[in-house]
Amino acid sequence: MTARQALQEARERLEAACVPDARLDARLLLAAVLDRPQLDVLATPQLPLNQAQAARFFEWVSRRAAREPLQYILGQAHFMGHAFTVRPGVLIPRSDSETLARLAIERAVPGCQALDLCCGSGALGISLKLARPDARVSACDISQQAVALTRENAQRLGAGLDVRLGDLFAPFSGLLFDLIVCNPPYVPVGELDTLQPEVRHEPPLALDGGADGLAFYQRIIAQAPAFLKPGGWLLLEVGDGQAKAVEGLLGPDFAPSRVHPDLAGLPRALETRRAGGVN
């Protein structure tokens, strides 16, 4: 079987399963199986696949046709230009969250002490540390799988991070940060079943934000002042249509907030800072 035949068959199977971007996904899977750049695969349509390669390719195509996210199959997701290892059990980093990552990088002053709360794969904290090597970055998650994956990604990408297991701020009792960045679970529980099929392969623990999607914002906003220096930043990703509600949760402990749009123009990253010490 040639690369062209394999791509054609895969594309038909993926299209039949209503996979968006069937052609692109087929190409990315084949490039990964052949361990060659995508363009190489296109440029050499007569390239033969051996039996093992063909078997592996069509196994991956079947998984994708079952709407498993491409990133879980490839074991990798790109975020802020870095390749993060991903696997089932931990949320896949989204390009939407790059808005929050950029904001954290902008707000981090030299030598600052930063915390990535609910770190998942470590995408936010690691991107911050790589862009601001003099920051001291901590990260935590309630999921043992997430903590293990953040440690693994930090080591592979060469980012020195202090990664701890626990519920929100619990592992950092007594510490004060200059900056806290967080992409909490924020999908209203009733909407979990309405998300695209790929998202149902991801852990509900990383998505379920309670009845109105705001459960974690309430807890984070209530606890954050005790873990922020005066004037310290609290940077939160918010879901579609949640910015106003989250702003409404900020009490007198926080300075007025600003909301930044993602690449699609949707309000996505909210910034505020602990009142006191703000010039």
69, 93, 185, 267: residue in contact with ligand GLN (rule CB under 6 A):
185
Q: What is the dihedral of CA 99, 101, 107, 111, to 10 degrees?
A: -170
Note whether 207 binds ligand GLN by CB under 6 A: yes
The residues, any chain, with a CB within 8 Å of residue 69's CB and separated by 6 or more, are 92, 198, 201, 202
Interface region with ligand GLN, contact rule CB under 6 A, candidates 46-54, 56-64, 141-149, 179-187: 179-187
Q: Where are the beta strands (DSSP E) in 109-238?
A: 113-117, 136-141, 161-165, 177-182, 228-237
Interface region with ligand GLN, contact rule CB under 6 A, candidates 105-113, 122-130, 165-173, 184-192: 184-192
Min separation Cβ 237 and ligand GLN, Å? 6
Q: Is the dihedral of CA 238, 244, 246, 251 positive or negative?
A: positive
Note whether 183 binds ligand GLN by CB under 6 A: yes
Interface region with ligand GLN, contact rule CB under 6 A, candidates 8-16, 169-177, 178-186, 261-269: 178-186
Note whether 199 binds ligand GLN by CB under 6 A: yes
Q: Which is nearer to ligand GLN, 77 or 187 (CB)?
A: 187
Cα distance between the two ends of the chain:
67
Alpha-carbon distance 257 to 235, whole Å? Answer: 10
Note whether 245 binds ligand GLN by CB under 6 A: no
Q: Which is nearer to ligand GLN, 57 or 186 (CB)?
A: 186
Min separation Cβ 56 and ligand GLN, Å? 29
Token pair 């940077």 is found at 235
Alpha-carbon distance 210 to 212, whole Å? Answer: 6
Question: What are the distances in angstroms from CA 10 to CA 31, 58, 202, 233?
Answer: 13, 7, 24, 47
13, 23, 36, 94: residue in contact with ligand GLN (rule CB under 6 A):
94
Q: Which residues form the interface with ligand GLN (CB under 6 A)?
A: 94, 96, 183-187, 195, 199, 207
